[in-house]
Amino acid sequence: MSFDPVVVKKDFPLLEREINGKPVVYLDSANTSQKPRQVIDAMSRFMETSYAPINRSAYHLAAESTDAFEGARGAVRRFINAPRVNEVVFTKNATEALNLVAHSWGGANLRQGDAVVLTHMEHHANIVPWHMLAAERGVELRWVPLTSDGQLDLSDLPKLLDGAKVFSFTAMSNVLGTLTPVKQLVDAAHAAGAVAIVDGCQYVPHNPTDVQAWGADFLAFSSHKLCGPSGIGVLWGRESLLDAMPPFLGGGNMIADVRLDGFSCAELPAKFEAGTPPITEAIGMHAAISYLCALGMDNVRAHEAEIAAYAIGTLKARYGDDITIHGPTDPAVRGATLSFQFKDVHPHDVSQVLDQANVCVRAGHHCAKPLMKLLGSNATARASFYIYNSTADADALADALANAGDLFGL
Amino acid sequence: MPGLEDLYREIILDHYRTPRNRGELAPPAVRAEGHNPLCGDEIQVYLDVKDGVVSDIKIGGQGCSISQSSASMMSAAVKGKSVDEIRNLVRRFKNMMSIEEEDENAPPLDESKPLGDLEALRGVVKFPVRIKCATLAWNTLLDGLSQSN
Q: How would you write chain B as a 3-class SS string?
A: CCCHHHHCCHHHHHHHHCCCCECCCCCCCEEEEEECCCCCCEEEEEEEEECCEEEEEEEEEECCHHHHHHHHHHHHHHCCCEHHHHHHHHHHHHHHCCCCCCCCCCCCCCCCCCCHHHHHHHHHHHCHHHHHHHHHHHHHHHHHHHHHC
User: pLDDT by residue (tens digit) across B72-127?
Assistant: 999 999 999 999 999 999 999 999 998 887 777 878 888 888 888 899 999 999 99
Residue in chain A nearest B62 by alpha carbon: A378
Distance CA A84, CA A94 (A): 20
Which residues on B lie below 8 Å from A377 (Cβ)? 62
Structure confidence at residue B60 (pLDDT):
96
Mean pLDDT of chain B: 91
Query: Given this structure, which CATH class describes domain A5-31+296-407?
Result: alpha beta
Bridge partners of A324?
Answer: A341
| CATH classification at residue B49 | 3.90.1010.10
A199 residue type, one letter: D
Structure confidence at residue A234 (pLDDT):
98
User: pLDDT by residue (tens digit) across A240-279?
Assistant: 999 999 999 999 999 999 999 999 999 999 999 999 999 9
CB contact under 8 A, B1 and A352: no
Confidence band of A295 (pLDDT split at 50, 70, 90): very high
Structural domain of B66: 4-148
A56 residue type, one letter: R
CB contact under 8 A, B40 and A349: no
Return the domain boundaries, chain A: 5-31+296-407, 41-293
Structure confidence at residue A410 (pLDDT):
61
User: pLDDT by residue (tens digit) across A339-389?
Assistant: 999 998 999 999 999 999 999 999 988 899 999 888 888 889 999 999 999
User: pLDDT by residue (tens digit) across A152-195?
Assistant: 999 999 999 999 999 999 999 999 999 999 999 999 999 999 99
Domains of chain B: total: 1
Query: Given this structure, which CATH class describes domain A41-293?
Result: alpha beta
- pTM comes to 0.92
Cβ atoms of B57 and B48 within 8 Å: the answer is: yes
Q: State how beta strands A22-23 and A18-19 pair.
A: antiparallel
Given a cut of 60, is residue A1 above it in pLDDT?
Answer: no
Q: Which of B3, B38, B42 sits opposite A364 (nearest CB)?
A: B38
Eight-class DSSP state of A172: B
Q: Do domains A5-31+296-407 and A41-293 have the same CATH topology?
A: no
